[in-house]
Structure 1
Amino acid sequence: MKPREILGELRTRPGGPFGDPRVCVALLDGPVDLTHPCFAGADLTRLDTVVQEPAGKGPMSLHGTHVASLLFGVPEGPLPGLVPRCRGLLLPVFRDGGDGRVPQLDLARAIERAVEEGAHVINISGGERAADGQADPLLDRALRLCEDHGVLVVSAVGNDGADTLQVPAAHPTVLAVGATATDGSPLDISNWGAAYRTHGILAPGDDIEGAAPGGGLASLTGSSFATPLVAGTAALLVAAQLAGGGAADPKAAGHVLLATAIAPDCADPDLPACRRGLGGSLDAVQALARVTRKEETAVTTPAAASDPTPNETPAPPPASAPAPAPAPAPAVAPAGYEAVAPAAHGTPAAPVQQAPAQQAPAPAQAPAPAPVQAPAPVQAQAPAPAPAQAQAPAQAPAPTQPPPVAAPSPAPLPPAYASARSGVRPACGCGGDPAGCTCGGEGGGTAGGRQLVYAIGTIGFDYPTEARRDGFRQQMPYITTEVNGEEVEQEPDPYNVNQLHDYLMGAPWACDKLTWTLVMDGATVYALEPEAPVAMDWGQPLVLPEDVQRERRPATELAAAKDRPFDELVAMLASAPVSPVYRVFRDAIAGQAINVDRQPDDRAAYISRVSIPGVLTGRTTRLYSGQIVPVVEVKSRGLYTWHESLLVDAVIKAITDEATNNMTEVRNLEELRLTIRSFLDKIYYQFRNLGQTSADRALNFMGTNTYSFSNMLAQGLLSSSKVPGSSKNLYALDTVTVTKSPYCRIGSDCQDVTVTFYDPEDERRSRLSYQFTIDVSDELPVTLAPVHTFLGSY
């Protein structure tokens, strides 16, 4: 089956639907062979991800190229796709040399990047089976970001042939897609589940013709190849919205697809045969007719458009789902190939490939990507020819990224109420104005075309190879310990943070031999690389910077006044200079390891959080575990470390002092401490994020600079003195929201962070909100204007 057959007679009409350059479709899949004739003249841009190798002969390149051709195959090419006139973003997440899986963390990265670049529809032909259907928290956050932006995510349900849930298809904000056979019945290998009834749809997925790397064509089967048919139809609906003079509303397009789907012909929806039908089968013709009819009505009779008939307003899918419990991020795998036979011990079986006689033969190299779980059951189709029997097409030159064809900016998405939970901002940083879109250039979350990052976590380190690790072990000095009353020298431990810290103090030139990382709750999210140093720093400061600030005296005078032992000063002067960034990394790993319960004297030296301002380099690095993470170039400005407990103590002191002045009674200091910690926990745990989107960078900057915001926090908890009423109760934190600021400097990206407090003992009293405007267009965010205070919630 060819992809445009789902359009019925519409595909044969002159000027039939081919999409609109204002509509942007993102494809998260394997590498795409852009030299294939199918893509000649298509507006496709490959974005940097953790998968950086070009398309090759492997299974993931076949998977990605095939899916891409179903969407973007040009009309003049060998296989026209559904939306060749749309702008395409290619974000490779599956690599040929891997096992066909990608961590959910990396999938979240790619989704956030697609939203930042202005995607309206995101196609994910992959997934991971999950017993409860819950995504990793960071992936959940990325999907909620799409929901708040109005971006439609379309994802495959998988090919286990079972009643099971797969992430991200099972997420309530995602349009899930299963596959049908040539007769329209659900494909035997296509998954189903109760959650898919409200937001799932079936589409043709049997023997779908598409491109193969090297210039050939292939026919493949599975839900992976049904998914782009639904995503492409959704993009056509968005194009119809724009053609009718309306705004781009991808989520509404998804609702129309569900509303016009042909429901299963079943008396009892709980029967297994009916549950396989999900929410119905795709009817692209009817969906386009409905949107076209509605848009024509909107142009001719605006009043009628604001009051649609019930039959034309599909019911939206559920708006919320239980919050996922924190868990290690599993891998996500392509959902696409049909297996021809069960494989022993979980080994993936070969996919079905049938090259049509009138088309170029499929390439010989096409083993199946690793399925998510067990191989799919046997299908009544001819098995794929053995590699030795297949005729391989001539290998095209190594693909290179062609420059994207200039196209109008995507239409602005409808403004959304933003919450810090999702880190909302209009796609592409356009602020609702397509003419002001700065994606891929200065502003809009980029620096010189690179993505800005402002993240919060802890510092880790890694050895890229065993040789590098053993090199450190041999260079580090032996450790003297006491065993049975006798001093014994022991071999150093390169994983002991204190030993490593002491070694780097005297050998700072070894700092760049480590792979420094940013860790969030045990998950490594970035590799850290310092910017080129413009200045060096001594291993230890002769005079602490805070001493200079507090005393307002010259450093030389303070140094002379300090009573320090001579050998300590000599040790300081003997320490070699080190990059300021490396110094923070080196000291952080030791500060994070301090046990304040056992070492109360070192409480002030404990480090619980580190802020990382920087820019994604477009490069990746492989950790010792085999995980591949993107590299961030870390900037010195904004690189801070801090201790949460000391911060809480400082805020409590400010509150008690202010309460005394206002005659307000602080009755329970422990309750106050818990209230303050709940505020910090919202920033550091509930709103944990990758620090890539503008809203997330603004939120993280606020959490980083909580010392600057401690006065606001103290005032917020004492809001009763500013709100009418006689009660002097302490207020509590209510919400933290982030929205695109309507006021901003030219060329900047400004976000409003609003913190709202309420009286927990009297809900009738007004809430009090504090609003901060933060410019995140530079590597180090900055606050703008004074804090605005107003009654009520935002």
Structure 2
Amino acid sequence: MPDFADIPGLNELWTHTRGDPRITVALLDGAADLDRGCFQGANVTKINPYWQQPLEFDPKYIDIFREIQNLDQKNEVTETKLKEAIPDKLTREVLGAAFHATHVFSNIFGQPGTPVEGIAYKCRGINIPIGYGNDYYVDPINLARGINLAVDLGANIIHCAACRPSKTGVAHELLEKAVRQALENNILIVAPTGNNKGECWCLPAILPGVMSVGAMKDNGQIFKFSNWGGQYQTQGIIAPGENILGAQPGTEETVRNKGTSCAAPMVTGISALLMSLQLQQGATPDAEAIRAALTNSAIPCTLEDTEEVERCMLGKLNVAGAFQLLTGKQLAVVEVSTAEVISEDVRDEVSVVAAQENTISPLSLKVGDSGEKLTNTQTNITASEGRRKEEEGRSDGTPRRRQTQAVRPRDDASRKGMLTKRGNAHQESKEEEGIPPLKGGGEKLMGNQTPTNDPVEGRVLNSTEKGNDPTTIAQPTNGIIPSATSNKIYALGTVGYDFGTEARRDSFKQLMPAAVISGVQAPANPYDASQMVDYLETNLYEAKSLIWTLNIELTPIYVLQPVGAFAEDIYETLQNMLSGQVEAEDNEGYIERVSITGRLSDETVKLFSGQTLPVVKIYSPRGMYGWTVNMLIDSALTSVSAEREEAEEEAIRKSLRSFLQRVYYDLRNLGRADRDRAINFAATNAFQATASISEAVAVGMELHSIEVEKSPFCRYNSNCWDVKLKFFNPDNTRRAKKVYRFTIDVSDLMPVTLGKVRSWSVPN
């Protein structure tokens, strides 16, 4: 694609908008170099991940990496030369992701008059590095964290450049829920389908509701490496993905790349323009309407485009068709020179050349006399003399005519793809090599540094603490400060522990007494939680030598670090929680679930397994609870004795258990977003939920759904969220549903409930 202006319909769309600063696009990728000239004056920022520290590296490696990467050789040859020139694997991975992110970001936000002019350069952009290194880059929990952070920052579009290969299309639960939550918050997610020749799929691109994007060549043929099949067939489209011009770190020289990672930014940028258009028309940005317009207007492929039309998924990108479906109007056609784009900046200077007709004609495609060429009926538009020309070296000086594709009906025939074997993400054959692999990224790299072992805390620290702010914010090129995000945590899960190093594990094994199992004495096993509980009961000071974790279904999500004057009490609480978890389920002291409240720091800890987790600092035992579902139900029922007289106790128990299990499993989350903290507290403090359920059960209703939304009314300096429990009558589905609402304030570390439970009926 020589120029973005060559994308059919984009010139015409640019006459309506070049983006709106109220539309925010979050890029989940490596760490883009925002110091490049194309970003000067752009409304862009970078927010480093709170779950991993930026890494330092020698700037000379940027030039070395760029020189080798631009040799235009086979991927295998390039990789070999990079290994020889940059021995450290992590350095290569970080640089690869940084180059990738800079290229993608420039395609969307590059400013006019610079080497790379982006598609929607007036929109607001946020670069969120997913992780530094391959393993962290495609880690599903990190992807979930990145998506959640983008939601917190108010993104309208999330461009996720990462590809986690999958043969099944099934994602980690936290990633799946993060995607679903973003979609429910009216956010469009765009992701490349991957460059694996259809041998596997990519997460999150394959997840339902995601705007999946494959790649085609400049001649319109589909790249053979572009993934297809499965869910892609119902939500994927093809966009230009060859010879895409973009920026590089450390230089003003541009580079042309190809691949699905180059095609996806085309769709992201055009989606941002369409959302900006919605704002101009006085409407609210509608992510699903944008996605539907793009997918329903896609132009199906023919056998000339690909030997297997299934590879085309729903079809090719159709800007004019999407515009027409979205607005109900045809996209007007303009006649421009090759790089001549009519933008909002020069609209006042644009004069429409018209004799009898003084309006822009809508596009109408006509078949020429030969029956082979398509021409368009259009009216010329002349811009001010100061605008640059598209093809300055053109000998005849005649402008190029642009063609815009009209809406074409899509063949609904089933397209199914067969996958044979798994490949590595973003790898192509020699004749069709795409953009370099996404291997994790960052602007700083750990060079010869090694993690330091903390002998006191018993953990491997990747960095020193920089404060309670969970994000390190890169200074925007235009001085705009990104939105602040909360670092408060109120999470549910189970308590676990880790040793960090073999030496620390062996020290516990040496100090712990021998265990007696079935009358037989056995060596101490520090991995046995029962033995660890017994040891800590008499040696509580040793609790500080462990790495305490909060787990969701055996997956550690946070490291828990007690700090401050109440640290000893917090360690004792953690020990008691662990003690309850190892009890038999029929024991009164058994603990099934715990709640943790604290602040997310910018410190990370490396576990014995090599996994790196963010640290939550706990300042007080306040808000730390452990319970079982049955115990919580019994406690809650004692508070609603009046309602129990009208309702069957067993029915109340059943509905309350359904509510709690829904929160624990269907709505489980990382406990960082305000809405997540609200729903987690609603499950911990189940008394209000019990009052609602008791009243509903008394009239034969059952729980239907749980909703959490920002409260329209709140006291001053508070952050209030409404939890709505919706009930229905299983015996009469035509009967109106009943909604019970109670409000939770999450402005403090410890959430609190406000007011009374309110209820009303809604149509079924």
TM-score, normalised via structure 2 length: 0.72
Aligned position for 1:111: 147
Aligned position for 1:516: 548
* 1:704 corresponds to which of 684, 693, 698: 684
| Deviation for aligned residue 1:217 | 3.2
Question: Structure 2 CA distance, aligned partners of 1:708 and 1:155?
Answer: 41
Aligned position for 1:614: 598
- Paired letter, 2:535: Y
The DSSP-based 3-state class of the residue aligned with 2:308 is helix
- Paired letter, 1:340: K
1:167 aligns with 2:203: yes
What are structure 2's unaligned runs of at least 5 residues?
63-94, 333-404, 413-421, 441-471
Aligned position for 1:84: 121
1:169–1:175: 8 Å Cα contact kept in structure 2?
yes
Aligned position for 1:752: 722
The 1:8–1:760 alpha-carbon spacing in structure 2 relative to 1, beyond 3 Å, is closer
The DSSP-based 3-state class of the residue aligned with 2:163 is strand
Question: Structure 2 CA distance, aligned partners of 1:94 and 1:169?
Answer: 18
* 1:494 corresponds to which of 526, 539, 549: 526
Question: Structure 1 CA distance, aligned partners of 2:406 and 2:438?
Answer: 41
- Paired letter, 2:474: Q
Aligned position for 2:459: none
- Paired letter, 1:23: I
* 2:311 corresponds to which of 247, 266, 276: 276
| Deviation for aligned residue 1:115 | 1.3
The DSSP-based 3-state class of the residue aligned with 1:248 is coil
- Paired letter, 2:248: A
The DSSP-based 3-state class of the residue aligned with 1:140 is helix
Aligned position for 1:47: 47
Question: Structure 1 CA distance, aligned partners of 2:329 and 2:634?
Answer: 59
1:52–1:92: 8 Å Cα contact kept in structure 2?
no
| Deviation for aligned residue 1:109 | 1.3
Alignment of 1:37-186 (within 5 A): 37-49=37-49, 50-53=51-54, 57=62, 58-95=95-132, 97-99=133-135, 101-162=137-198, 164-186=200-222
1:769–1:793: 8 Å Cα contact kept in structure 2?
no
Aligned position for 2:571: 582
Instruction: Select between 283-292 and 782-791 the one with higher mean Cα deviation.
Output: 283-292
Residue deviations 1:387-431 (CA, integer Å, cap 9, x gap)? xxxxxxxxxxxx9922463669xxxxxxxxxxxxxxxxxxxxxxx
Question: Structure 1 CA distance, aligned partners of 2:556 and 2:679?
Answer: 20
| Deviation for aligned residue 1:119 | 0.8
| Deviation for aligned residue 1:782 | 1.2
1:200–1:278: 8 Å Cα contact kept in structure 2?
yes
The DSSP-based 3-state class of the residue aligned with 2:591 is coil
The DSSP-based 3-state class of the residue aligned with 2:474 is coil
Question: Structure 2 CA distance, aligned partners of 1:249 and 1:315?
Answer: 23
TM-score, normalised via structure 1 length: 0.69
Aligned position for 1:418: none
1:604–1:643: 8 Å Cα contact kept in structure 2?
no
Aligned position for 2:396: none
Aligned position for 1:424: none
The 1:17–1:120 alpha-carbon spacing in structure 2 relative to 1, beyond 3 Å, is same
| Deviation for aligned residue 1:704 | 0.9
| Deviation for aligned residue 1:235 | 0.8
Aligned position for 1:594: 583
Aligned residues with identical type, % of pairs:
34
Aligned position for 2:20: 20
The DSSP-based 3-state class of the residue aligned with 1:25 is strand
The 1:225–1:694 alpha-carbon spacing in structure 2 relative to 1, beyond 3 Å, is same
The 1:745–1:676 alpha-carbon spacing in structure 2 relative to 1, beyond 3 Å, is closer
Residue deviations 1:336-378 (CA, integer Å, cap 9, x gap)? 4534389xxxxxxxx667xxxxxxxxxxxxx74469xxxxxxx
The 1:613–1:334 alpha-carbon spacing in structure 2 relative to 1, beyond 3 Å, is farther
The 1:504–1:707 alpha-carbon spacing in structure 2 relative to 1, beyond 3 Å, is farther
Aligned position for 2:478: 405
| Deviation for aligned residue 1:783 | 1.0
The DSSP-based 3-state class of the residue aligned with 2:239 is strand
Aligned position for 2:675: 695
Question: Structure 2 CA distance, aligned partners of 1:209 and 1:495?
Answer: 54
Question: Structure 1 CA distance, aligned partners of 2:212 and 2:561?
Answer: 39
Residue deviations 1:724-752 (CA, integer Å, cap 9, x gap)? xxxxxx54323222222222123332221
The 1:146–1:499 alpha-carbon spacing in structure 2 relative to 1, beyond 3 Å, is same
1:340–1:352: 8 Å Cα contact kept in structure 2?
no
The 1:262–1:661 alpha-carbon spacing in structure 2 relative to 1, beyond 3 Å, is closer
Residue deviations 1:281-340 (CA, integer Å, cap 9, x gap)? 12335545776775999xxxxxxxxxxxxx999999x9xxxxxxxxxxxxx999545343
Question: Structure 2 CA distance, aligned partners of 1:352 and 1:760?
Answer: 54
Aligned position for 2:503: 467
Question: Structure 1 CA distance, aligned partners of 2:284 and 2:735?
Answer: 40
Aligned position for 1:625: 609
1:238 aligns with 2:208: no
Structure with bigger RCO (C-alpha 8 Å, 6+ apart):
2
| Deviation for aligned residue 1:6 | 4.3
Alignment of 1:537-576 (within 5 A): none
Question: Structure 1 CA distance, aligned partners of 2:696 and 2:326?
Answer: 48
What are structure 1's unaligned runs of at least 5 residues?
298-310, 319-331, 343-350, 354-366, 372-398, 409-438, 537-577, 598-602, 721-729
Root mean square deviation, CA, Å: 3.8
Question: Structure 1 CA distance, aligned partners of 2:639 and 2:36?
Answer: 66
2:110–2:117: 8 Å Cα contact kept in structure 1?
yes
Instruction: Select between 465-474 and 24-33 the one with higher mean Cα deviation.
Output: 465-474
Question: Structure 1 CA distance, aligned partners of 2:429 and 2:439?
Answer: 10
Aligned position for 1:340: 430
The 1:370–1:34 alpha-carbon spacing in structure 2 relative to 1, beyond 3 Å, is closer
| Deviation for aligned residue 1:617 | 1.6
Question: Structure 1 CA distance, aligned partners of 2:473 and 2:173?
Answer: 35
Aligned position for 1:743: 713
Instruction: Select between 123-132 and 25-34 the one with higher mean Cα deviation.
Output: 123-132
The 1:674–1:341 alpha-carbon spacing in structure 2 relative to 1, beyond 3 Å, is farther
1:10–1:17: 8 Å Cα contact kept in structure 2?
no
The DSSP-based 3-state class of the residue aligned with 1:604 is coil
2:138–2:164: 8 Å Cα contact kept in structure 1?
no
| Deviation for aligned residue 1:633 | 2.3
Alignment of 1:197-346 (within 5 A): 197-215=233-251, 216-265=253-302, 273-284=308-319, 287=322, 294=329, 336=426, 338-340=428-430
Question: Structure 1 CA distance, aligned partners of 2:529 and 2:588?
Answer: 18
Question: Structure 2 CA distance, aligned partners of 1:780 and 1:68?
Answer: 39
Residue deviations 1:158-202 (CA, integer Å, cap 9, x gap)? 111127543222222111100001211110100111533332111
1:440 aligns with 2:429: no
1:25–1:122: 8 Å Cα contact kept in structure 2?
yes
The 1:659–1:123 alpha-carbon spacing in structure 2 relative to 1, beyond 3 Å, is closer
Question: Structure 2 CA distance, aligned partners of 1:704 and 1:313?
Answer: 52
Question: Structure 1 CA distance, aligned partners of 2:741 and 2:192?
Answer: 41
The 1:712–1:242 alpha-carbon spacing in structure 2 relative to 1, beyond 3 Å, is closer
* 2:588 corresponds to which of 593, 604, 608: 604
Question: Structure 2 CA distance, aligned partners of 1:10 and 1:788?
Answer: 50
The DSSP-based 3-state class of the residue aligned with 2:312 is coil
- Paired letter, 1:440: S
| Deviation for aligned residue 1:66 | 1.8
- Paired letter, 1:168: P
- Paired letter, 1:522: L
Question: Structure 1 CA distance, aligned partners of 2:207 and 2:670?
Answer: 20
Aligned position for 1:638: 623
Residue deviations 1:462-498 (CA, integer Å, cap 9, x gap)? 1111122223333x3422537877xx5x543222223
Question: Structure 2 CA distance, aligned partners of 1:294 and 1:618?
Answer: 49
Question: Structure 2 CA distance, aligned partners of 1:746 and 1:473?
Answer: 54
1:193 aligns with 2:236: no
Question: Structure 2 CA distance, aligned partners of 1:196 and 1:583?
Answer: 51
| Deviation for aligned residue 1:24 | 0.7
